[in-house]
Structure 1
Amino acid sequence: MPRTVGDHQASSTPAKSPKISIVMTIYNREDYLPQAIESILSQSYTDFELILWDDGSTDQSLEIANYYAAQDHRIQIITAAHQGRGPAIADACRFAQGEYIGLVDSDDLLAQTALAETSQYLDTHSAVGLVYTDYQIINADGSIQGYGHHCQRPYSPQQLLVEFMVFHFRLMRASVYRQIGGFNPEFVYAQDYDICLRFSEVTIIEPLKRPLYYYRHHKNNISCEKRIDQILFSKRAIEAALDRRGMAQEFELEFQISAQCNLVSKSPR
C-alpha cells in the first residue's frame, strides 16, 4: 500500500536493499510508458528496484504505473506536483536504495541484458565509478533506425568538456553519486551532462561498447522541443566544470549555436 513521504506519496521501500536502483521520471508519457516499464521488468538481472516518479502527469501515465506496481513488488511509485525533469530526477534519486543507480527515460527501452552487463562491469572494475553503453535510435513506432551519433565519439575527460559522449545507458556507483552531491536541481536541462562532468572529476568513466539502450525519437522529445535551452544549460555545465577544475583563468568557452538538418528514415533499415 502507498505511504506518504513529505509532500509525496510513495509505496513502501523493500526490506532488503536491491543491488540496482533504476529511476524513471514520468510526465505525460502514456503512449510509450508501458513498453519502457516492461523493458525493465524483463531484465535478465533481477535484483533491482524500479522507482517511478510521476511528475504531475495529466494523462493516464500514473494509472499505467499503478497497474504495473500492483503486479511487481520491485516497483515504487512516487507522485509529486509538476516541477520539470531536472528537479524531479534529483528528488527521485534520493529514494534510491541500491549500490548502483541507473536512469531510463519513460519513452525509451532498455535491452534485456543491460543491467546484467553494466553491473558486472562495475563489479569487476572497482576503480570505475560510472559505465555507459552504446545505444540505438528507434522511431515512434519502435523500429530501429541505427546507432546514435554519440556512439562514434571516443571518451576522454578532456573531450567531455566540450562534447557530451557519455549518453545512454549509464550505471553509476551510488557512493560516488552521493559524494558529488547528486543531480543539481537547478539544471532544468542538461542535468545528465552536468553530473557526468562532475563524475569525471572524481572517478573513472568507462564505455561499454554494446548497444544496450534504445533511444526513441518522436515529436515530443524534450531534446527536440527545448533544444536551445539544452544548449544554454550545457554551456552553464561546461563553465561550472572549468571553474571547478581551476581552468577558468586560463580558458574561456567559445560558444556557438548552429542548426543542422538531417533526413531520418521513417521505415526500418
Structure 2
Amino acid sequence: MTSPRISVALSVYNNAAYLTAALDSILAQCFADFELVIVDDGSTDASPAIIDRYAARDPRIRVIRQANQGLITSLNHIIDVARGEYIARMDGDDIALPERFARQLAFLDAHSDHGVVGTQIRGITESGAPRPGHKVEYPTSSDAVAETLASRSPLCHPSVMMRREVLRSVGGYRAAYRHCEDYDLWLRLVDRTRMANLPDPLLLYRASATQVSNRHVLAQNFGASVARIARAERLAGRPDPTDDWDSLPPIEAMDSAFGRPGLSARIRADVTRGILFSPDALAGEGLSLIDAHLEDVRQQRVPPVPALWRTVARLVRHHRPVAGLRLAAALAAHAVRR
C-alpha cells in the first residue's frame, strides 16, 4: 500500500461540541492524499460516536483508543505510527481552511531546508463567530521565527506541518513540558532545521474558557522558562537534564537540578513577567510566586520585574480586589517603588 504524503495528527478528548466541524474541515481539504490518525484519549462525551461515524465512511481515518493519558502521549503515539512524509497538527475544536494542506505541502516541497511551517490564524468564539479584536501576527521568515523563539512561541501549534523524520530525530514531544510541549519542541528543532509561517490565515482558532492557555498559565510560563534554560545548556555543550524527566520539579529545586546557582530566582522572575496579564493566575498560586520573587529581589538575586504596581490596578479592574490588596501589601512590605 502506498503511503500518504501527509499524516494528520489529531488527539481528541471531549471535543464533541466542535468535533464535527473540525473533521469536516480536514476531509474537505483541496489536497486529499493524507491519512487522518485520531487518538481518542479516553473521551467521556459523544466524541467516540462521532469519530466512529466518520471512520465508517472514510478509509483515510485511522482510530486509536486509549485511556486518558494527555496530549503529549497521544501525539507521540501518532508520530510512532504515522506513515506520511509530513505530519500536520490539528486540534479537535479548530477549523482548517480548504487550502491549508496544499499550501503547506507546496512550501515544504519547495524548501528542503525547512522542517516546520505554520500559518497565520483567525480567532473564532466558542460559537464559531469571528472573535472581536483578536489579532496575532506570527513571524514568517525562518530568521524572524528563530529570533521570536527567544521569548515566546513563534508558531501556532495546531496550524503546523512538520517533516516526520525531523520530528522523530528529536524524539517527538517531551513528557516534562506538559502545557508547553510545543514551545519546547520548537526550541529543540530550531538547531536542526529552519521553521517558518505562511503569511495567510489558514486555520480558524477557537477560543474557549477551558483552553489550556487559559487554565494553566502558571505551568506554561514555568515550563517555557525551563525550556529556554535547557536549550542554553545544550548550546553550551552541557547535558540537558530534562531529557529524562517525566515532570518538572519545583522551581526551588532547579539550581541543584541543573547544577547552576541562581536559576530558581531567574525562573521566578520569568514566570512573574509571564503571568502579569492573567488575573486568574495572579489571584491563585501566582501571588505566592510573586512573594518569592520579591524575596529574591530583597536578597539582590534578581532585579524586580517592572509594572507590578500596575498589576494591582489590573486585578481590581478584573474584580479581584482581595488579590490586588495582597499584592499591594507585598510590594509595600518589600519597598518596591512604583
| TM-score when normalising by structure 1 | 0.85
Q: Distance in 2 between matches of 1:87 and 1:24?
A: 12
Report if the CA contact (8 A) 1:43-1:112 is conserved: yes
| Shift of residue 148, structure 1, vs aligned partner | 5.3
C-alpha distance after superposition, 1:171-224 (max 9, x if no partner): 101111111111113322111111111111101112211100111001221221
Q: Distance in 2 between matches of 1:44 and 1:152?
A: 24
Report if the CA contact (8 A) 1:18-1:48 is conserved: yes
Report if the CA contact (8 A) 1:21-1:51 is conserved: yes
Match of 2:100, as an amino acid?
A
Equivalent residue for 1:103? 89
Match of 2:145, as an amino acid?
S
Q: Distance in 2 between matches of 1:136 and 1:205?
A: 20
Q: Aligned ranges for residues 14-163 of structure 1 at < 5 Å? A: 15-145=1-131, 149-151=135-137, 153=139, 155-163=144-152
Report if the CA contact (8 A) 2:79-2:168 is conserved: no
Q: Distance in 2 between matches of 1:44 and 1:147?
A: 30
Identify the range of structure 1 (181-190 vs 210-219) with the bigger mean alpha-carbon deviation: 181-190
C-alpha distance after superposition, 1:144-182 (max 9, x if no partner): 226854415563323302111211511101111111111
Which protein, 1 or 2, shows the higher relative CO under an 8 Å CA cutoff with sep ≥ 6?
1
Report if the CA contact (8 A) 1:27-1:55 is conserved: yes
Match of 1:158, as an amino acid?
E
Match of 1:139, as an amino acid?
T
Unaligned stretches of 5+ residues in structure 2: 239-259, 279-313, 315-338
Unaligned stretches of 5+ residues in structure 1: 1-14, 263-269
Q: Among the aligned pairs, what percent are the same residue? A: 31
| TM-score when normalising by structure 2 | 0.69
Report if the CA contact (8 A) 1:150-1:164 is conserved: no
| Shift of residue 236, structure 1, vs aligned partner | 2.2
Report if the CA contact (8 A) 1:18-1:97 is conserved: yes
C-alpha distance after superposition, 1:242-269 (max 9, x if no partner): 11111888x965512433279xxxxxxx
Structure ranking higher in strand proportion:
1
Q: Considering only aligned residues, what root-mean-square deviation do their CA atoms show, in Å?
A: 2.3
Partner secondary structure for residue 177 of structure 1: helix
| Shift of residue 80, structure 1, vs aligned partner | 0.5
Q: Distance in 1 between matches of 2:171 and 2:67?
A: 23
Q: Distance in 2 between matches of 1:148 and 1:208?
A: 18
Structure ranking higher in helix proportion:
2
